[in-house]
Amino acid sequence: MKGVIAGGDAQTVAAGEEILERGGNATDAAIAAVFASFVAESVMTNIGGGGIAIVGDIAKDKAEVYDFFVNMPSGKPYAEMDFHEVTSDYGPAQDSLYIGRASVAVPGIVAGLSALAAEHGTMPLKILLEPAIRMAREGVELSPSQEYVLEFLLPIYEDTPEINDMYLRDGSAWRAGEKNTFPKLAENLAQLAEEGAHAFSQGSIAQAILQDQTSHGGLITEADLANYQVRRLEPIRISYRDVELLFPAMPSTGGGLIAFAFKLLESVDLAQMEHLGVDHIQTLAEVMRLTNIARPLWDAEASSGQERVSRFLNEKHISQNQHQLNDILRGGNHPTEPVFPKGPDHTTHISVVDADGNFVGVTTTAGESAGFVVDGTGICMNNMLGEADLHPLGFHKLAAGARLTTMMSPTVLLKDGAPQMVLGSGGSSRLRSAILQAVSNVIDFKMPLEEAVHTPRIHFGEGTLQLEGGISETRASALEGMGYKVNRWKNLNMYFGGTHAVALENDHWVAIGDKRRGGAGKKVE
C-alpha cells in the first residue's frame, strides 16, 4: 500500500492519489489534494482562505499542528469600503452575511501549504500544483452536493460580473455533472508554481491582490501579506477509553470543545446502550448541551496555548461536568444553554496516511466567498470579516494582525503511539458533533468506518434536538415525551457535517468520504 486518502470530492482525492502513485508521502498528497480542492470544491473553499492541519512525521517522531488561519488586516475601516450585506436562501430559512473587499481577512493557505511542503514533504511545490493546474485548465465536474450549496449562495456568485461569469453560463448556474474551466486561475497557479510562496506574500499574485484591494475598497495592506506567519503548535492530547486523541488548540475553538465532549462521554458506559437508542441519543444530546454551556469559559480564557487547554480540561472542571451529566441522565434537571451565532458552513477536509505511517489531516475554508474575483487572476477570496460569529464585538473591531478563531478541528486517533484514524469535517458547530459521533461509533460501538461515517447522526444546539433521517419515529416521539424539542430530517443531510476519514481496520487501511458532502475515499496500492 502506498497510502489512503479521503476528501470532499472524487476529483480532489484523485489529485492526492496521483501524488501517492508518484512516490509522494502523506504531506505531499494532502497538499496536492488541497490545491485541487480550490478547483473541484470551489464553492466550499478557495486559495484565498485559511486552514488548520495536524501532521504526524515518522522520521521526526512528532505530531504538530500547523495554524494557517486568517488574520485581521491592518487597514482602517472607512465610509467607502466595500462591505455589504447579502441574503442566502436556505429554503426554510434565510441567512444574512457580509461580502465584498472589506470582508476579506489576510489569507494563510498558501503560506501554510508551502511550509508543510518544505518541512514535511518530499516533492517540490511545483510538482504538487500540477494536478490543480491541469484541472483548472481542462475543467472539473460539479457534484450534486456542491450544486446544492451553489444554489443557496447564488446571491454571492451573482454579486459582481467577474464571479458571475465564472459560475454562470448564459444566465444559468453551473449544474451538477457539467464541466467548468478556470483558465485565469490555472495561469496564476502556474505562476505560483514558478515563484513559490513568495508569489502570494510579495510577488505577482500579492501585487494583484493589493491592487484589487486598493482600487475596490479593501483593507489588506502590503505589510499584512508580507508579514503573515504560519504557527506551529503542540496538539491537544487526551485519552479516551484505550486510545489517544489529538486536536488543534487555538485558533481552533472546535478542538478544545470536542476534547471536552469526549471526556464527558467517557464517564458513560456506552457499550451497554443500543446505538441511537433513546438513552444513547439522550447521552449525546446532554454532552453537547454541557459542552455548549462550557464554551464561554474556553472563549473567555485570556491565556493561550497549553495554559488555556490545561485550565479548560483540568481534572476538576471535567469531573464537575461528568457528575452533572450523570445526574441529568438519572433524571435531574438540565441547565439552559447559551445561543451562539452561526459559523461558516462552507468548509472541507482531507485525511491522508501513507505506507510509512505519516499522517495529515487538513481542514480549509474561505467562509462563503467574498463575491468577487481579484482583477485578472481568477482568484476568489474569503469573507471571514463578514462572519458575525467571529466578531462578537462587531465587525472590523479586532486588532490588526489578530488571528481569527475557527471551529475547524482535524482530528487524529492514536493507539500505542501509532495512527489508527484521521478525520475532520465541515459544518460549523455540527462538525464537532460529527467528529464526536464518528469516533465514538468506531471505539464504543466497534463499527467499520463506512458504517461509522454514514449511520444517522444527531445534533443538539439552541434548545433543539436534530435527528437525521433513519432514526425511528418511535424514538423521536419518546424523546419528545422526555421534554426535548425534536426536529426530524427525512434523509442524511450535509447539515450534519461531512466527515472524510481514513482508519485502520483489521490491519488494513480504509478511506471513506462522507456522501453527505459528495466525499470520496481511495486506497492506493
The confidence band for 257, taking pLDDT boundaries of 50, 70 and 90, is very high
Q: Could you tell me the CA-to-CA distances from 381 to 108, 298, 394 in Å, in that order?
A: 11, 29, 21
Q: How far apart are CA 366 and CA 236, in angstroms?
A: 24
Quote the Cα angle for 352-197-103, to 5°: 90
- pLDDT (tens digit per residue) in 477-488: 999 999 999 999
The answer on pLDDT for 303 being more than 80 is no
**What confidence score (pLDDT) does residue 59 get?**
87
Instruction: Say if CB 68 and CB 112 are below 8 A apart.
Output: yes
Cell of 46: 478557495
Q: How large is the average pLDDT for residues 270-292?
A: 97
Q: How large is the average pLDDT for residues 312-319?
A: 96
> Is 459 strand, coil or helix?
strand
The answer to whether the Cα torsion of 156, 32, 502, 515 is positive or negative is positive
**What confidence score (pLDDT) does residue 297 get?**
86
**What confidence score (pLDDT) does residue 36 get?**
98
DSSP category for residue 103: G
Question: Helices then strands (H, E): number in the chain?
Answer: 19, 22
Q: How far apart are CA 55 and CA 153, in angstroms?
A: 33
**What confidence score (pLDDT) does residue 346 get?**
78
- Among candidates 515, 460, 385, which has minimal Cα distance to 50? 385
The answer on pLDDT for 108 being more than 80 is yes
- pLDDT (tens digit per residue) in 26-49: 999 999 999 999 999 999 999 999
Instruction: Say if CB 70 and CB 377 are below 8 A apart.
Output: no
Q: How far apart are CA 359 and CA 346, in angstroms?
A: 24
- DSSP assignments along 11-64, one per residue: HHHHHHHHHHHTT--HHHHHHHHHHHHHHHTTTT--TBSEEEEEEEETTTTEEE
To the nearest 10°, the Cα dihedral for 235, 430, 469, 334? 100
Of the candidate ranges 332-341, 367-376, 417-426, the one whose mean pLDDT is the lowest: 332-341
**What confidence score (pLDDT) does residue 429 get?**
82
**What confidence score (pLDDT) does residue 227 get?**
97
The confidence band for 218, taking pLDDT boundaries of 50, 70 and 90, is very high
The answer on pLDDT for 226 being more than 70 is yes
Residues whose CB is less than 8 angstroms from the CB of residue 394 and which lie 6 or more positions away in sequence, other chains included: none
The answer on pLDDT for 388 being more than 70 is yes
**What confidence score (pLDDT) does residue 116 get?**
98
**What confidence score (pLDDT) does residue 21 get?**
98
Residues whose CB is less than 8 angstroms from the CB of residue 123 and which lie 6 or more positions away in sequence, other chains included: 19, 22, 24, 28, 117
> Is 525 strand, coil or helix?
coil
In what side-by-side order are the strands of the sheet with 411-415?
236-240, 243-247, 411-415, 418-424, 500-505, 508-512
Q: How large is the average pLDDT for residues 117-132?
A: 98
Calculate the average pLDDT of the chain: 94
Residue with cell 458506559: 269
Q: How far apart are CA 512 and CA 427, in angstroms?
A: 17
The set of catalytic residues is: 347
**What confidence score (pLDDT) does residue 32 get?**
98
Whether pTM exceeds 0.85: yes
The answer on pLDDT for 93 being more than 60 is no
**What confidence score (pLDDT) does residue 307 get?**
83
**What confidence score (pLDDT) does residue 170 get?**
66
Q: How far apart are CA 443 and CA 449, in angstroms?
A: 10
Q: How large is the average pLDDT for residues 509-517?
A: 97
**What confidence score (pLDDT) does residue 428 get?**
77
Amino acid identity, residue 64?
Answer: E
User: Percent of the chain scored above 90 by pLDDT?
Assistant: 85
**What confidence score (pLDDT) does residue 60 get?**
87
The answer on pLDDT for 186 being more than 70 is yes
Q: How far apart are CA 205 and CA 481, in angstroms?
A: 59
**What confidence score (pLDDT) does residue 96 get?**
80
Q: How far apart are CA 299 and CA 292, in angstroms?
A: 11
Q: How far apart are CA 51 and CA 366, in angstroms?
A: 9
Question: What residue spans define the domains of the chain?
Answer: 1-255+343-456+497-525
Q: How far apart are CA 270 and CA 332, in angstroms?
A: 19
**What confidence score (pLDDT) does residue 89 get?**
63
To the nearest 10°, the Cα dihedral for 282, 288, 294, 300? -170
Q: Could you tell me the CA-to-CA distances from 312 to 263, 291, 296, 413 in Å, in that order?
A: 11, 11, 11, 21
Instruction: Say if CB 412 and CB 368 are below 8 A apart.
Output: no
Residues pairing with 366 in the sheet: 368
- pLDDT (tens digit per residue) in 434-461: 999 999 999 999 999 999 999 999 999 9
Which carries the bigger pLDDT value, residue 94 or residue 214? 214
**What confidence score (pLDDT) does residue 90 get?**
53
Q: How large is the average pLDDT for residues 369-374?
A: 96
- DSSP assignments along 225-253, one per residue: HHT---EEEPPEEEEETTEEEEE--TTBH
The confidence band for 91, taking pLDDT boundaries of 50, 70 and 90, is low
**What confidence score (pLDDT) does residue 1 get?**
94
The CATH superfamily holding the domain 1-255+343-456+497-525 is Gamma-glutamyltranspeptidase, small (S) subunit (3.60.20.40)
The answer on pLDDT for 343 being more than 70 is no
Q: How large is the average pLDDT for residues 103-112?
A: 98
End-to-end CA distance of the chain: 4
Exposed e or buried b per residue across 346-379, where buried means at least 16 C-beta atoms within 10 angstroms of its C-beta = bbbbbbbbbeeebbbbbbbbbbbbbbbbbeebbb
Q: How large is the average pLDDT for residues 183-199?
A: 96
**What confidence score (pLDDT) does residue 301 get?**
67
User: Percent of the chain scored above 70 by pLDDT?
Assistant: 96
**What confidence score (pLDDT) does residue 480 get?**
98
Q: How large is the average pLDDT for residues 355-369?
A: 96
Q: How far apart are CA 457 and CA 450, in angstroms?
A: 14
Of the candidate ranges 63-72, 127-136, 236-245, 306-315, the one whose mean pLDDT is the lowest: 306-315
